[in-house]
Chain A
Amino acid sequence: MITTPELINALSANAAPVRRVRPLARAWLWTLIAALVLVLLGISQGVRPDLVDRLQQPSFGFGIGASALTAILAAVAASFLSLPDRSRLWSLLPLPALALWLSTIAYGCVVSWVGLAPGSVTLAEIARCFATLLVTSVPLSIALLFMLRHGALVRPEAVASCGSLAVAGITATALTLFHDLDATVMVLIWNVGAAALIVGLAGVFGRRMLRAVAPRPVAG
């Protein structure tokens, strides 16, 4: 085994200059990437035909705004949580937006329940929804993993859950923007279901994935 003084010598011989992490800048960069993904998806798939009409309904606008806001706030929270000396309370930052988002969906369920129109649920539509889900969540997850990889050594659980909430928020926004989710059941499935799926997967694998990309110290 190497002795501690030897280790210190090896590490200090290896001290290359580093660029300091600026958490807000990272969160904004990630938000820009997310916006870019949404724009590219909009160009390639086209937004839903009735988007302009729907945006004038307050509940729809609130829903989209709340899911996007949840994503941005969760990204900010995750990038602060990935720093060792920042407060754990940062994990509470996205909660108000999350509550707003979930309550808009709940409001939709209670006040204006739209039943499934016969023949509206086709296999092709489900496949397209899944494609949007993957195309949004996979690259954004990878980008976030690499941006927050230093958090793996300090607070992997909190960073992974906030990060996954950010990805879930953007994914739900994308699904609402690009697909005709009129039936309340579909809104529930593709918003809450997709978000729960992403956060759940991160709960199971997030810690391990963060570990896999964590910076490795090289001594000597």
Chain B
Amino acid sequence: MLAKLAATRLGHMPFHSRYRTPSLSIVGGSALPPGSERCADARAEGRDVDWSILMARAQSGERRAYGRLLEEIAPYLRALAARRGVEDADIEDRVQDVLLTVHAIRHTYDPARPFGPWLVAIAHRRITDGLRRQTRRRARETPLNPKHETFAAPQANLEEAEADSRALMDEIEKLPSGQRQALRLLKLEQRSLKEAAAVSGQSIGSLKVASHRAMRSLRRVFARRGHET
């Protein structure tokens, strides 16, 4: 489970590391000195032109340009979703929703206009819709979390089963030692007759007889109790 999770995380690593700082108009550069701000603006503008060209080529059916465009906007959308307050667990869902929408209405982009506002408008709308759906779902559903259980192990929440198993264990303790050992090896530890014979040093035949007798006497004890209650 953990290994799988780590693998998925690692699978995303190249994206995160390569595009750690997506910067377009929405990413403010106010903390930077004026010169570098201008530089960042120019870079963002250059990227916008790149994306615009890629989208224009995608519209005419160039798959490679389209794949590159989607790969480049995905980390940008991730940053946008995080900024809008989407929870970490939902970010990939939101990003995929935006990518699917971009795909569905890619014919509404006009290459004569900048690409950024088009993308940001779609992303904002889809992210807002997603947040709204999430709020609605939270309002009518209560997630079942570990706190709702008294103990983590499922058996611990079945009180009767707990009492029954203790009574059974008590009765097993009362059996003669040969029968008890046979029962433990064959039924509780579920070993084969051969293994049990090797562990206990008894013959297969005598183990069979002992476990049969143990089962019979337990059945008798519990049948009697069942009649009494």
Q: Which of A92-128 contact B (CB under 8 A)?
A: none
The answer, yes or no, to whether B63 is at the interface (CB within 8 Å) is yes
User: A4 near B109 (CB under 8 angstroms)?
Assistant: no
Residues B1-49 near A (CB distance < 8 A): 8, 11-12, 15
Give the interface SS of chain A, mostly helix, strand, loop or mixed: loop
Distance, CA A18 to CA B109, complexed state (A): 10
Task: Evaluate contact between B110 and A3: CB separation under 8 angstroms.
Answer: no
Q: Which residues of A contact B74 (CB under 8 A)?
A: 4, 8
Task: Give the contacting residue for A20; candidates B59, B67, B92, B104; CB below 8 A.
Answer: B59
Segment at the A interface, from B94-102, B156-164, B180-188, B195-203: B94-102
B61 within 8 A of A: yes
Q: How many residues of A contact B (CB 8 A)?
A: 32
Give complex CA distance A154, B127 in Å. 11
CB–CB A84/B61 < 8 A: no
Q: Which of B61-99 contact A (CB under 8 A)?
A: 61-64, 66-67, 70-71, 74, 92-93, 95-96, 99
Complex-state Cα separation, A17 to B107, whole angstroms: 9
Complex interface: stretch among B114-122, B134-142, B211-219: B114-122
Q: Name 13 interchain pairs, CB-CB below 8 A, sorted by A.
A: A7-B96, A8-B67, A12-B64, A12-B70, A13-B63, A15-B63, A15-B67, A17-B59, A83-B108, A84-B121, A84-B125, A154-B122, A216-B104
Further 17 A-B residue pairs, CB within 8 A, beyond A15-B63, A215-B105: A5-B11, A11-B66, A11-B67, A11-B70, A14-B103, A15-B103, A18-B59, A20-B59, A20-B109, A20-B110, A84-B118, A85-B109, A150-B108, A154-B125, A214-B104, A217-B100, A217-B101
- Which B residues fall within an 8 A CB radius of A? 8, 11-12, 15, 58-64, 66-67, 70-71, 74, 92-93, 95-96, 99-101, 103-110, 113-114, 117-118, 121-122, 125-126
